[in-house]
Structures are given as C-alpha cells and as structure tokens.
Amino acid sequence: MRTERGVGLALLALAVAAVLVVTITPGVGEVENAPLWCLRCIRAGGRAGSDFLLNVLLFVPVGVGLALAGVGRRVAVGVILVCTLGIETAQVSLVPGRFASLLDVAANGVGGYAGLVLGGAWRSILRPSPAVATRVLLGLGAAWLGTQAVTAWSLQPYPLPDAVRVRGVAAGPDLAGGGVLEARLGGRGLVSTRTATDSAAARRMGRIPFVLTLRLVPAGPGARPTRFRIVDEDDRTFLGLAQQGGDLRLRWRLRAREVGLRAPALFLEDAFPDLAAAASGAERGGAPPVTVRVGIGGSVLGLEAWDENGRLRRAGLRLTPNLTWSLLLGNLVRVNPVSTAAWIAAWMLALGYWLGHASPAHGGRGALRFGTAAVLLIGWVAIPWIAGTAVPAVWEWAVAAGAGAGGWYPARARGRAGRP
C-alpha cells in the first residue's frame, strides 16, 4: 500500500507539473478570448476538436495519480474541477496568448475521471481474467477501428468550390523583400486578384492529381515570409505555401477542418539554401529565385524545389490512417516516422497485451487471433481503400507486428506461470 501511495504521489507531482507547463506558460501571439462561459465559441484556427481531445488526455495522469495516492473519488473529482477552473481563470486574466473556455473544463474533467477509473482498476489491468481481458480487447479493437475510420475520413480532400482566388503572385518585378514571381497550374498561368474568381483553376484542382509550379524569391531575415495561397470567396485557404525560415510548408485543405482537427502539413527542409544572400544584399535584392513544384495526389502530397544551380530537394507525405496523432498535434510536431511508429506501437502493444490475457486455456484461442487479424486488415486495408487514403507502408506493418508480439508474449507467459 505504501509503495502504491508513493507511486501515486510521484505520478501526481509529475502530472501537475506537466499540466502547468502546458497551460500556464504564455502562448505565442495574441489570442482573443471569448467569454469563459461560451461553449460554442470556436477558437482561432478552428481546432476545437483537437484541443478538446488534448485536454482530455492531459488530465488522465492526474486522475491516475490521485487514485493511486488513495484519494477518495469524490474528493479527487473536486480537486480536478478546482484545478481546471483555476487554470482557465488564469488563462483569461493572467496568461497572455491563451484561450479559455468551459469546454476545456469539461474536457479536463472527463480526462481526470477516466484517470480515476484506470487508477482504481490497476490490479485488474495487470492481472485480468480471460473474461475481462476479452471484453477489453473487443472494446479496444472497436476503438482502434473508430480512430482509423475518423482519420481516413479526415484526410480526404475538402470539397473545392466552383471558383477560387489566387493570393501572393507579385504584380511587378520588384521582389527585394521576397515573393512569388510566377505561378502555373497545369501549364496555365495564375494571377493574384482581390475580387475576381477563377473557375478554370478550381476545375483543374478538382481533377486530382494535379501539379502546381511556382518561381519564387524567399524573403530574407526580418522580412515578411514569402506566401502563396489559393482561397475561396470567404478567404479560406485550400492550398497554401509558406516560407518558414529556410524551410517551405505546404498545406492542403482536408476534411479534418470540418470537425475542428488539425490537418498535417508537408515541410520541405532547406528549401532555400541561399538565404544568406538575402541578408548580405546580393543581386536581385535578395536570395536567388527558386522553382517549386507542388504535386497533389489522392493520398500523397509532394514538394520539389530547385535553384539556379540545379540543386534539387524533395519531400513527400503519404496520408495514411496512422496519422491520427498529427490530427491532434498538427504543426506542434512535424509529421515524422518516429511519432507515427510510436503511435502504432502504443496501439499494437495494448492489443497484443489484452489478446495474450484474453486467450482462454482451452478452445476459442484461434477465433480470437483470427478476429484480431481481421480487425487489422479492416483498419489498414479496407478503410483506406474505401476512403481513398494510402495503405500503411511495409515498415508500419513491421512496427505493428513487433509491438503486437511484444505485448502478447509476456502476457501469455505470465498467464501460463500463474496457471495452477
């Protein structure tokens, strides 16, 4: 009991410290707060769905720590609510660059209570009976299929309007501060307009795949970054290119925005290797022009950039259902294989663990294994095929197999050891 209490207090201290770092440190830029009571007010960027889920996950360790520390459930719920109300109040009046809402209070409460339930059931989690493990396995499999389906739907292209507008193409040759010299969509030139729309460009973008080619000059240090956008009549961006230092970021509007989730972006690192020329005042008033080619496929985004010296850099992004984590974090963490592998491993370890405990001592073992394999095929083959997203790569299947085995084998070994 003392060990359990000590672990709970240590986890609670770490969880509270993490919550304070995430919620009380000032944000970047100015955020206009809606009234604290407003549950329907959507924060800037339309990321309410991602923020709600992150707020749920943020307080799960707090609830687990309180449960392990021996705090009663009613008292623990009160502590969680007082803490989250205090945080939201501080974000309104004391912490700049933060958005406060009672929706966050509700999310924190849900996460904290879920943690209390998990912390109170830790013995059953470590040594579950086959019946309990089977029920958990079925629920976990359904939850995983749900995340795969939501992710695959969220990664579908947002329906294009009948006409679009172009933003960012320079009207003249003076680009001392950086800008877009030329833009061509399928061989057809694009020009920036304030009010006029381009229905031909919208039709061409609607016929995926398509290629967009730009010739641009990156902005130097201290200047406004070079940007290019294709927007609708309400100025919502459907395709956007933006310079971030020496890198280039591509955004393609996906259905994720409809449910308040962040959409993954593609980054081409070191797209502008000659930015030093902009700082030293080289000819043309800055860095030399760079040609950029954007390729949009049904489930693949591609970026290529080459300069006047013929140096080529390229990057690609496959939109697979394993990018659920990026729908939550967005540009807080750039899409990378390590994070995707960690996401896959977390799910497969859990599925393998509960499968190992759920396998009965006699009969039914083959049915459980067959069912688990069928769930994986549905989530990674059928759902991507239906949604039009990419099927996971070979390395993703390998990570899943290794993590699943890593969860299943110790559980089976422990089950055999505990069997009379």
Question: Where do the structural domains in the chain lie, given as residue ranges?
Answer: 1-126, 128-155+320-420, 165-319
Per-residue DSSP letter, 287:
S
Asked whether 379 and 150 are in contact (CB, 8 A), the reply is: no
Tokens of 37: 């009571």
Give the H or E element holding residue 124: helix 122-126
Q: Are strands 266-268 and 210-217 parallel, antiparallel or unpaired?
A: unpaired
pTM of the predicted protein model: 0.84
pLDDT tops 70 at residue 175: no
Asked if pLDDT for residue 168 goes beyond 70, the answer is yes
The tokens describing 152, both together, are 């695959």
- Please state, in angstroms and rounded to a whole number, the distance separating the CA atoms of residues 231 and 225: 18
Is the pLDDT score of 28 beyond 90? no
Query: So what's the pLDDT on residue 362?
Result: 45
The span from the CA of 308 to the CA of 53, in Å, is 46
- Least confident interval from 146-155, 166-175, 205-214, 379-388: 166-175
Question: Does the pLDDT value for residue 392 go beyond 90?
Answer: yes
Residues 292 and 235: beta-carbon distance below 8 Å: no
Please check the confidence at residue 307 and state whether its pLDDT lies above 70. Answer: yes
- CA angle 338/344/350 to nearest 5° reads 130
Q: Could you give the residue ranges of the DSSP H alpha helices within 155-281? A: 199-206, 275-280
Inform me whether the pLDDT recorded for 212 exceeds 60. Answer: yes
Tokens linked to 304: 């290529």
Whole-number Å distance between alpha carbons of 88 and 339: 29
Peptide bond into 337 cis (omega under 30): no
How far is the C-alpha of 190 from the C-alpha of 167, rounded, in Å? Answer: 10
Of 3 and 68, more confident: 68
pLDDT of 384 over the 90 cut? yes
For the stretch 253-305, pLDDT in tens is 999 988 889 889 999 988 887 665 545 544 444 567 888 999 888 789 999 99
- 220 by Cβ neighbours in 10 Å (0-12 / 13-18 / 19+) ranks as buried
How much is the average pLDDT of 87-111? 80
Helices 130-154 and 337-358, interaxial angle, to 10°?
150
Tell me: pLDDT of 395 over 60: yes
pLDDT recorded at residue 283: 45
CB 324 within 8 A of CB 147: yes
Q: What is the pLDDT of residue 412?
A: 78
CB 250 within 8 A of CB 292: no
**What distance in Å separates the CA atoms of residue 74 and residue 94, rounded to the nearest whole number?**
29
Q: What is the mean pLDDT of residues 54-82?
A: 91
Say which residue, 2 or 61, is predicted with more confidence.
61
**Average pLDDT value for the chain:** 83
Mean pLDDT in residue range 115-127: 86
- The pLDDT of residue 33 is 46
